[in-house]
Every structure is written in C-alpha cells, then in structure tokens.
Amino acid sequence: MTVLLVALGAAVGAPLRYLADRLVQSRHESSFPWGTFTVNVVGSALLGFLAALPAGEGFTALGGIGFCGALTTYSTFGYETLRLAENGARTLAFLNVAASVAAGLGAAYCGMALASAI
C-alpha cells in the first residue's frame, strides 16, 4: 500500500513541478534557473511542514515522499548548475548552489516552525 501512496503523490508532484518550473522560468529572461529554484524552495517548505506534523506513515508516503519528492528536483538543480558553469556563468552557478542550499534549509525550517505553531 505504501508504494501506491508514493506513486500517487509522485503522479501529482511531477507534472506540477514541470508546469510550475515552466511558468516561473517563462517570466524571467535570466539564465538563472528560477523555475527549479522556486519548486525546490516551495517543496522544502512543504516537506518541512509535513515532517513536523504528527501524521501517519501513509500520509508521509503520499505527501512527503511521493508529492514532495517528485515536486523537488536535485538532478535538474545539478544539471542546470553544471550548464551555467560550462557556459561561463560561474558566478550564477555559484549563486544557484549557495542560494538553493540556504533557501531550501531556511524554507524547511520555516515549514517545520509553522507546523509546530499550529
């Protein structure tokens, strides 16, 4: 049953990631990967929130592992960072790494704090 919940969450999270990424990126002319940055920060906040809730294994599998796991994307983050560096935008590549790590951790902390306050 857990595998099905993970798959169901991922079936919603993956297309939402793609659509959100394209929507955000289409509004920026910069080569900075704003779409991936946005979905990763939002996913980190949501995962932090879900992790702090007193929820059962099924809810964690559906929302945390399935949905958030498919919404966020480390592979695309790595690929886009490498492409920036290879194309001579090393400063943007460094900023992408630093900002993604800092914002992701900060967002997860804020999500956990919000869930704890509820």
The full set of domain ranges for the chain reads: 2-117
Is 58 annotated to bind a ligand? Reply is no
Q: For residue 116, what are the contacts with CB-CB under 8 A and spacing of at least 6?
A: 52
Is 15:71 a contact under the CB 8 Å cutoff? no
pLDDT given at position 84: 97
pLDDT score for 55? 86
Q: What is the pLDDT of residue 26?
A: 94
Amino acid type, 50: L
Buried b (16+ CB within 10 A) or exposed e, 16-48: bbbebbeebbeeeeeebbbbbbbbbbbbbbbbb
Task: Report the pLDDT value the prediction gives residue 118, as an integer from 0 to 100.
Answer: 87
73 is an annotated ligand-binding site residue: no
Q: pLDDT per position in the chain (118 positions), as tens?
A: 899 999 999 999 999 999 999 999 999 999 999 999 999 999 999 999 999 998 899 999 999 999 999 999 999 999 999 999 999 999 999 999 999 999 999 999 999 999 999 8
pTM here?
A: 0.92
CA distances, 75 to each of 57, 71, 87, 90, 99 (Å): 26, 12, 18, 18, 16
